[in-house]
Chains A and B, each alone.
Chain A
Amino acid sequence: MSKYLQRYSDQERMNHWIVAICFILAALSGLAFFHPALFWLVNLFGGGPWARILHPFIGVAMFGFFLISMLRYWHHNKLDDNDRKWLRQWRDVANNREDMLPEVGRYNGGQKVVFWITVASTITLIVTGVIFWRPYFANLFPIELIRLASLLHAVAAFTLIVSTIVHVYAAIWVKGTLRAMTRGNVSEAWAKKHHSNWHREVTR
């Protein structure tokens, strides 16, 4: 039997999945308003008006729970020279030539970049979203700001969706990763291969 190492606590995992569910609901309802080809998605929420009513509340819930994760993982995600080297070798990353890469700690350069993109886009989404939230807050802001907020909201949502596709794909691609979020632990072999510095830290 191989040995497993704890990576995420129960509380961390539940929080992650609450954010994930909120993200899926917010993304589906938001995409419905973004492009006519996707307007049919409002039917998942009980029609256009309901999708419009629910979307911002889902967004606020997502932001609230995301904040917990964000503050918890903030200090784990500071980029160093090692990460920059890792990122420059993205060809080796993409082609599974992991032996060529610098040794990785708890998170690799790619994970850290996704973290910061997620932080920036989620904060942009909540700030801009409140600015044109009708009927509650939009009347407090000048029209030019509402226009800018509407554009930035769409750009931030696009950025978050694309980075989340990358995040999800990476978990599918790198086998043994998913159980970190479903079970809370990873195999020691996985840790040695993908996060050798972290492995050394936790097995010391």
Chain B
Amino acid sequence: MTMQSSLDIQARSATTTPSPSVRSSAAVAKLIDESKCIGCKACQVACQEWNELRDEIGNNVGVYDNPSDLSASSWTLMRFAEVEDKDNNLSWLIRKDGCMHCADPGCLKACPAPGAIVQYSNGIVDFKQEACIGCGNCITGCPFNIPRISKKDNKAYKCTLCSDRVAVGLEPACVKTCPTGAITFGSKEDMVSYGEKRTKELQERGYANAGLYNPAGVGGTHVMYVLRHADKTEQYSGLPKDPSISPLVSLWKGAFKPLALLGMGVTALAGFFHYMKVGPNEVEDEKSREEA
């Protein structure tokens, strides 16, 4: 969502002073119950419709994934994984991929453009494309491989969690359209307790390893999954088990940033004060000849 000013911004990329945060709103979350998903892709359609996007017609890549990957125009994508368990039972694990809206967003941490990425107090992480410079640091910072740079305009795009709809009290388009109720939306608190309830139900039905995916490594997420096999998240088309911002990114955008700036300043100042204290190193006889 762009061009919408807001007074409830929790964090802003490349900004060292507080963001406009006089207002605050309750944390929201989207819960995706993988066990209820039938892979109909209505969420993909609703996403494109609401956001007025139309991806290019691609090629069949031999699996049901269509398009084959997220793109600047496809902000959500059903990923289909065929998995055989130890008894040779085939299960079809379908995961609706898209931005997880991390509480500790790696994209926001890595972004060098002030205000190109914002995190609202309700937890939604949003890209402001008009401030985006197209460097791709958001991709570098993201632990989920979500942002995509458009070939058309070199700006980064991803799921907005329908921040425009949420701002006026509506649920995201994918939630509204889901025919099986696999996607629900509400306060983060409610979604966590509903997710835990669903987990318990699945466990009672024999999915002993069912669980709520709300990874603590990124501070929890505002898009959560209920998974039947929470012990094997990687089976769901590579959903990371314990995602966190890479320590390389944390070092680069954390401690190193101010220390390096300090180091450069101190070096320049050391030169200045050295000159003032010790003075120039001059060739004596040349100097005296000039004076004579």
Contact = CB atoms under 8 A, between A and B. Distances in A.
A150 B252 contact: yes
Interface stretch (B57-65, B179-187, B188-196, B254-262): B254-262
Interface string B262-290: 01100110010011001111110110010
B148 to A, nearest CB: 11
A8 interface: no
Interface of B: 14-16, 110, 112-114, 131, 133-137, 139-140, 145, 149, 151, 154, 246, 248-249, 251-252, 256-258, 260-261, 263-264, 267-268, 271, 274-275, 278-283, 285-286, 289
Contact of A134 (B134, B263, B268, B278): B134
Contact of A173 (B113, B145, B280): B280
Interface of A: 2, 32-39, 42, 48-49, 51-53, 94-96, 98, 132, 134-135, 138, 143-144, 146-148, 150-151, 154-155, 158, 161-162, 165-166, 169, 172-176, 187, 189-190, 193
Contact of A132 (B15, B136, B286): B136
Contacts of A144: 246, 248
A147 B134 contact: no
Contacts of B139: 138, 143, 146
B135 A165 contact: no
B261 A48 contact: no
Contact of B252 (A95, A138, A151, A175): A151
A14 to B, nearest CB: 26
9 cross-chain pairs, A with B, having the tightest CB-CB distances, nearest first: A48-B133, A169-B271, A33-B112, A36-B14, A134-B136, A151-B252, A147-B248, A158-B260, A52-B133
A53 to B, nearest CB: 8
Contact of A48 (B110, B113, B278, B281): B113
